[in-house]
Structure 1
């Protein structure tokens, strides 16, 4: 797979539905060249498009990843994950599963806290985003008003999260524990609630 093709897939994963011109700009090539790459990806069923009306004039064509395109980024053996979760719930019951998720969250908190150490302020946020990126979440931090937006463009445990929403709730609680009392954390976009990705608004507690 060429570097240009890989860059298109990464861009669409990160940005969601995107018009042709920004794709061409990101590749530093003409729209004709970018369209050729997109057509090849469309033939491979990795991307598709939709035409969006934006007022008078022709609708703007937006390109996006198909399910097959998203799977290019991996999902940590989803079938095995689902089988294991089903077996665990059958063995432990609902209360046992809840206890297991709490134990996992406590382990994550300890691990992250060790990595973050005594870092504070923006350095702590950047370090957290780096940790999440290393774990496959394609995480990045962007300034937003008086605070920040933690964006996770990919979920490497998506299959497990779909099966058990406790993973998602545990993630939000983990961030709140790690960033308290300086920061207030709220989820503003959720991949499993028809969002393009998961996003977390992080604001100073006094704001």
Structure 2
């Protein structure tokens, strides 16, 4: 929601570029131009300005043939534009609970949160097959700001790919969140979940393999 509001009051092209890059591990100007339906020079000018402001990083990406091409990816400065759980209120709440009720109480609070989240998803998810449920789950997560999609390959293998996690601000203090989230997804979809992470500059990609 915060991202959508900002898009309405700032340059919409910048936010379209940021949103597109958020769903990738980096794109060239040509790829951005094709994806967004904007001119090459227009995209290039916007990317240069976003790079100057610290929101984009560049690197030379190898090509199968020819010289490496310049590609853009997000930096960590763009992270606050997307939904966050790790704000001051959340951290203060968890620390206060731990001081009042003991060191394990913060973890118990998070466990309860993911239990409630699972029940919320279960009430919304529709579909008889794992593929249907996973697709619906990804659509809900996309609306919630996880930048989520469901991918099904030719062999029928299913995975959910997400390019944002609102828990990143508190994950260092509470690393058990990843396991809790995996268990929550498994419960909602009635599947075994295997998580993989990919990080580069300000980009993060979470892949949840389901079976």
Normalized against structure 1, the TM-score is what? 0.83
Q: Which runs of 5+ in 2 are unaligned?
A: 1-9
Q: Which runs of 5+ in 1 are unaligned?
A: none
Residue number in structure 2 paired with 1:152: 162
The structure that is helix-richer by fraction is 1
The answer to whether the 8 A contact 1:47-1:65 is kept is: yes
The answer to whether the 8 A contact 1:81-1:159 is kept is: no
Aligned with 2:204: secondary structure?
coil
The answer to whether the 8 A contact 2:146-2:166 is kept is: yes
Per-residue CA deviations over 1:3-49 (Å, capped at 9, x if unaligned) read 32221100111112212211111132343222111111112221121
CA–CA distance in 2 between the matches of 1:21 and 1:63? 11
Q: Which moved more, 1:93-102 or 1:183-192?
A: 183-192
Normalized against structure 2, the TM-score is what? 0.81
Q: Which moved more, 1:43-52 or 1:72-81?
A: 72-81
- RMSD between superposed Cα atoms in Å: 2.5
Does 2:188 correspond to 1:178?
Answer: yes
CA–CA distance in 2 between the matches of 1:58 and 1:75? 39
Residue number in structure 2 paired with 1:197: 205
Name the structure, 1 or 2, with higher relative contact order (CA <8 Å, separation 6+). 2
Per-residue CA deviations over 1:33-66 (Å, capped at 9, x if unaligned) read 2211111111222112112344674322110112
CA–CA distance in 2 between the matches of 1:76 and 1:96? 18
